[in-house]
Chain A
Amino acid sequence: MVQQVVTIRNRAGMHTRPAAALVKLAAKYKADFFIEKDEFEINGKSIIGVMTLAAEQGSTMLLKLDGEDEQEALKDIVALVERGFDE
């Protein structure tokens, strides 16, 4: 299991489009993907779950990957978040 804290950079936070981008990327990997924010833990491969997070700019979340390709998955997902979801 690997994990890392990331900060949301986008001005509008993680709204529908970045949420969809995150979920699409996570779907490529076999590893289980969970996101912890405040008291919630949601499955990062579920769009409805990620939509509920309502992560605004500047907020932090803990990304948790567990599975055979966890290293690669974490690296790529973190990169996506830090790139501001390419917005």
Chain B
Amino acid sequence: MTAEKQQGDEIVLKGIPASPGIAIGPVFIFHKDGPIIQERSIHGHEVEAELNRLGDALVRSKKELTKIAEFAEKKLGVKQAKIFEAQLMILEDVVLFDSIRNRLRNELKNIEYVLRGEIGKYHALMLASKDEYTRERASDVEDVQNRIVRNLQEQRLVSKIAGSHIIVTKNLTAADALILSRNDVLGYITEIGGATSHMALLARALKIPSIVGIHDFCTIVHKEDSVVLDGYSGTVVINPSAETLKKFRSKQEEHREFEVHLELLRDLPAETLDGHRVKLAANVELEEELEFVKSQGAEGIGLYRTETLLLGKEVFPTEEEQYRQYKIIAAGAFPQNVIVRTFDIGGDKLMAHSIKENNPFLGWRGIRVMLDEPKIFMDQLRAILRASAQKNVSIMFPMISHVKEVRKAKEMLHAAKEQLAAKNIPFDNDIEVGVMVEVPAAAVIADDLAREVDFLSIGTNDLIQYLLAVDRGNDVVSGLYQEFHPAVVRFLRRIIERGKGEKVWVGMCGEMAGDPLATMLLLGLGLDEFSVVPHILPEIKKIIRSVHYSEAKHLANRVLEMDTEDEIKSYMKEVMRKKIPDILLE
């Protein structure tokens, strides 16, 4: 986050764009602190009254949690509603509440105090656990405690806000975002969070512009301050000047007009002015995104991340559970193709191995984990194969660094096919297989890999980090992560040439595919498929349809000769602005 003071009161901040759109309006600071608990001695005759208060508070708490669980299930699905199950069970814990009642009778203190003392014991024990899962459950326990105390104190959790506001808060769970959206919410700004969190996904689905990751924002901004939220760039302006307001209002208008053209663009092909055709697809995680993806004119799903099936789960989903989910995605996208990527996780997600890797990024993850855990891998392979029965599914392996890995994975895929065939379970025998090119070694041997598979998909997010030896999450060096570093550009050219030399198509599912500034370059380098975040699809298509392939090739050749990112970027910006004057480049 960078902060610059401009023009007196106006403050400009930068966060992570989580949901696109521009919002202008007053802020509402949403506090979700725990209630204040005071210690109070009570007399013997007050015991009964205190116990009654507890009984009432428990009834109310159960009602609330049940309602939230139902609402969550409706809006987010059964899986998400399970978050609240553990909390409901605690409310029914007879042993716990008997202890609490006894303590109250013996110590003669108010119920809030006794409650916190007793539940606090368990909370502290869980926080101190070596097991990460148990530590996470500690916040469930604290949530239950706070809910009971709020009901004891008859406080309502503010969810009704008068007027239209941009809601500002430290952290927003998906449930909060849902509940608050019943008000007239112009946007969300949070201090903590990531662009791929469930809250961000929900905000995008609800079309509420959002920005996350602005540290201490709640202390910088004041109640009812006027704020501009630019969910495209992640910029926030507090107390915008008249000039700033004008600039953003016109940007808002531009985007609205651009969105009107969406209808027209949606059914048009991603084809250059001189007839060069590429495939424009979307990256997806949840079935809730499919409708939006179709409306954005995607031609398929270039990356379906299966890791979401593991979120908040304690065990790996069974083959059956996975099949059900993959089938929904495949059916939802049909007749378009879906590329399913096998689990791309770090080994730490496997409970059995409590390994603490010093450098997980260079460690046990992606295909390495799957090849070492054949039972889990075979479950997933069979589930994906079963979902391919309608012949619109492809499979992709992450973090490949060696031809041996591809061959082994293909052997296992073959074995999975035989198992299903023996039981007469239908699947696509010709299912296309591809690998992600993200480890630099894979890029160097891209031709060898291409001989083993049907396609390559470039994962720029990790590829660039590995190639430039930069950790994006490290604030000190994150500026060195450069999409247009000459080494990256040359690497991309190699990968594409080598892949196509072996007659496989080469696509890209990393963030760079969705960067409008990179579109012409990638086109010119010969990229066959762009798989992007759904909301940027129309813009990328517009660029493709506004240029000539011959020009894109020329641009790529020029760029390949340049030796700094700055030179490359300013050259490309210049070309693009001339070709597409109304393109909105950040």
* B126: contacting residue among A15, A51, A87, CB under 8 A: A51
Assess A15 versus B314: contact at CB under 8 Å? Given A49-B122, A56-B351. Answer: yes
Are A12 and B315 neighbours in the complex by a CB distance under 8 Å? yes
- Kindly provide the distance from the CB of A87 to the nearest chain B CB, expressed in whole angstroms: 6
Of A43, A47, A48, A51, most buried by chain B (CB within 10 Å of CB) is A48
Are B314 and A16 neighbours in the complex by a CB distance under 8 Å? yes
Residues of A within 8 A of B305 (CB): none
Q: Which residues of A, 43-60, contact B by the 8 Å Cβ criterion? A: 43, 45-49, 51-52, 54, 56-57
Residues of A within 8 A of B352 (CB): 11, 57
Are B125 and A52 neighbours in the complex by a CB distance under 8 Å? yes
Q: How far is the CA of A56 from the CA of B350 in the complex (A)?
A: 12
Q: How far is the CA of A9 from the CA of B112 in the complex (A)?
A: 39
Q: Which residues of A, 18-70, contact B by the 8 Å Cβ criterion? A: 20, 23, 43, 45-49, 51-52, 54, 56-57
Interface with A: B88-96, B249-257, B382-390, B492-500, which one?
B88-96
Assess A20 versus B351: contact at CB under 8 Å? Given A51-B134, A54-B129. Answer: no
Residue B137 at the chain A interface, CB threshold 8 Å: yes
Assess A45 versus B95: contact at CB under 8 Å? Given A17-B314, A52-B122. Answer: yes
Residues of B within 8 A of A45 (CB): 94-95
Residues of A within 8 A of B93 (CB): 46-48
Residue of B nearest to A15 (CB): B314
- Kindly provide the distance from the CB of B313 to the nearest chain A CB, expressed in whole angstroms: 9
Residue of A nearest to B130 (CB): A54
Are B351 and A52 neighbours in the complex by a CB distance under 8 Å? no
Assess A20 versus B89: contact at CB under 8 Å? Given A12-B351, A49-B122, A51-B122. Answer: yes
Are B89 and A52 neighbours in the complex by a CB distance under 8 Å? no
Q: How far is the CA of A17 from the CA of B351 in the complex (A)?
A: 15
Residues of B within 8 A of A49 (CB): 95-96, 122
- Kindly provide the distance from the CB of B121 to the nearest chain A CB, expressed in whole angstroms: 9
Residue B334 at the chain A interface, CB threshold 8 Å: no
Residue B571 at the chain A interface, CB threshold 8 Å: no
- Kindly provide the distance from the CB of B374 to the nearest chain A CB, expressed in whole angstroms: 14
Residues of A within 8 A of B92 (CB): 47
Q: How far is the CA of A71 from the CA of B43 in the complex (A)?
A: 44
Q: How far is the CA of A48 from the CA of B93 in the complex (A)?
A: 7
Q: How far is the CA of A12 from the CA of B131 in the complex (A)?
A: 10
Q: How far is the CA of A56 from the CA of B316 in the complex (A)?
A: 15
Are B95 and A52 neighbours in the complex by a CB distance under 8 Å? no
Q: Which residues of B, 69-104, contact A by the 8 Å Cβ criterion? A: 85-86, 89-90, 92-96
- Kindly provide the distance from the CB of A84 to the nearest chain B CB, expressed in whole angstroms: 10
Q: Which residues of B, 224-253, contact A by the 8 Å Cβ criterion? A: none
Contact digits for B119-145, partner A, Cβ 8 Å, 1 yes 0 no: 100100110011101100100010000
Are A47 and B126 neighbours in the complex by a CB distance under 8 Å? no
Q: How far is the CA of A16 from the CA of B140 in the complex (A)?
A: 11
Report how many A-B pairs have Cβ atoms within 8 Å.
68
* B96: contacting residue among A13, A46, A56, A87, CB under 8 A: A46
Q: How far is the CA of A23 from the CA of B90 in the complex (A)?
A: 11
Q: How far is the CA of A10 from the CA of B85 in the complex (A)?
A: 21
Residue B354 at the chain A interface, CB threshold 8 Å: yes
Are A13 and B122 neighbours in the complex by a CB distance under 8 Å? no
Contact digits for B141-174, partner A, Cβ 8 Å, 1 yes 0 no: 1000000000000000000000000000000000
Residues of B within 8 A of A16 (CB): 85-86, 89, 137, 314
- Kindly provide the distance from the CB of A79 to the nearest chain B CB, expressed in whole angstroms: 20
Are A47 and B90 neighbours in the complex by a CB distance under 8 Å? yes
Residue of B nearest to A20 (CB): B89
Residues of A within 8 A of B314 (CB): 12, 15-17
Q: Which residues of B, 301-316, contact A by the 8 Å Cβ criterion? A: 314-316
Are B90 and A52 neighbours in the complex by a CB distance under 8 Å? no
Assess A48 versus B119: contact at CB under 8 Å? Given A12-B314, A16-B86, A43-B95. Answer: yes
Assess A48 versus B94: contact at CB under 8 Å? Given A54-B134, A56-B131. Answer: no
Assess A54 versus B126: contact at CB under 8 Å? Given A11-B315, A11-B351. Answer: yes
Q: How far is the CA of A48 from the CA of B100 in the complex (A)?
A: 13
Residues of B within 8 A of A46 (CB): 93-96
Q: How far is the CA of A57 from the CA of B93 in the complex (A)?
A: 25
Residues of A within 8 A of B129 (CB): 52, 54
Q: How far is the CA of A26 from the CA of B360 in the complex (A)?
A: 41
Residue of B nearest to A57 (CB): B352
- Kindly provide the distance from the CB of B148 to the nearest chain A CB, expressed in whole angstroms: 13
Residue of B nearest to A44 (CB): B95
Residue of A nearest to B354 (CB): A56
Are B96 and A54 neighbours in the complex by a CB distance under 8 Å? no
Residues of A within 8 A of B134 (CB): 51-52, 54
Residue of A nearest to B141 (CB): A48
Residue of A nearest to B318 (CB): A87
Q: How far is the CA of A51 from the CA of B95 in the complex (A)?
A: 13
Residue of B nearest to A87 (CB): B315
Contact digits for B321-365, partner A, Cβ 8 Å, 1 yes 0 no: 000000000000000000000000000001110100000000000
Residue of B nearest to A43 (CB): B95
- Kindly provide the distance from the CB of A25 to the nearest chain B CB, expressed in whole angstroms: 14
Residues of A within 8 A of B125 (CB): 52
Q: How far is the CA of A48 from the CA of B90 in the complex (A)?
A: 6
A11-B316, A13-B131 known, 6 other contacts, Cβ within 8 Å: A12-B133, A48-B90, A49-B95, A51-B126, A52-B129, A56-B351
15 A-B pairs whose Cβ atoms sit less than 8 Å apart in the complex: A10-B315, A11-B351, A11-B352, A12-B314, A15-B133, A16-B314, A20-B89, A43-B95, A45-B94, A46-B96, A51-B122, A54-B126, A54-B134, A56-B131, A87-B315
